[in-house]
Chains A and B, each alone.
Chain A
Amino acid sequence: MKEKDKYSEDIHDELIKDLFKEYSLEEAPASLKSETMNRVFSDWTENALSYKPIINKRNRLWMIGGFAALLAISFLIDASVIIDYWNKINVNNSIIDLSKIYKQMGSLGTTMNSLPSIIYFTIAGILALLGIDRFFNRLANI
Chain B
Amino acid sequence: MSDPNDIKLIKLVRAGDVSAFAQIIEKYQHMAYTLANSIVKNHQEAEEVAQDAFFKAYKSLDKFKGDAEFSTWLYRIVYNTAISKIRSRKAETITLESQEVDKQNTFNFADNLNRLERQERKVILKRALKELKEEDAFIIILYYYKEQSIEEIEKATGLSKSNIKVKLHRGRKQLQQTLEQLLRTELKSFI
Contact = CB atoms under 8 A, between A and B. Distances in A.
B109 A32 contact: no
Given A17-B144, A23-B145, A39 B55 contact: yes
Interface in A10-38: 11-13, 15-17, 19-20, 22-29, 31-33, 35-37
A36 B113 contact: no
A43 interface: yes
A84 B45 CA distance: 82
A39 B144 CA distance: 33
A16 B176 contact: yes
Interface stretch (B4-12, B21-29, B85-93): B21-29
A12 B106 contact: yes
A25 B31 contact: yes
B42 to A, nearest CB: 12
| Main SS at interface, chain A | helix
A2 B176 CA distance: 19
A102 to B, nearest CB: 55
Q: Which of A20, A26, A29, A44 has the most chain B CB atoms inside 10 A of its CB? A: A26
B103 A4 contact: yes
A124 B30 CA distance: 64
Contacts of A19: 113, 121, 125, 144, 179
Given A8-B101, A11-B106, A37 B34 contact: no
Interface string B39-71: 000010001001100110011000000000000
A28 B50 contact: yes
B161 interface: no
Nearest to B28: A28
B125 to A, nearest CB: 5
B84 to A, nearest CB: 18
Which of A17, A26, A28, A40 gathers most chain B CB within 10 Å?
A: A28
B106 A22 contact: no
A41 interface: yes
B127 interface: no
Given A27-B30, A36-B25, A8 B50 contact: no
A28 B33 contact: yes
13 contacts: A4-B103, A11-B106, A15-B110, A16-B175, A20-B144, A26-B34, A28-B32, A33-B22, A33-B25, A33-B29, A37-B22, A43-B58, A44-B18
The 8 closest A-B pairs by CB, nearest first: A28-B33, A20-B144, A25-B30, A28-B29, A25-B34, A26-B34, A36-B54, A44-B18
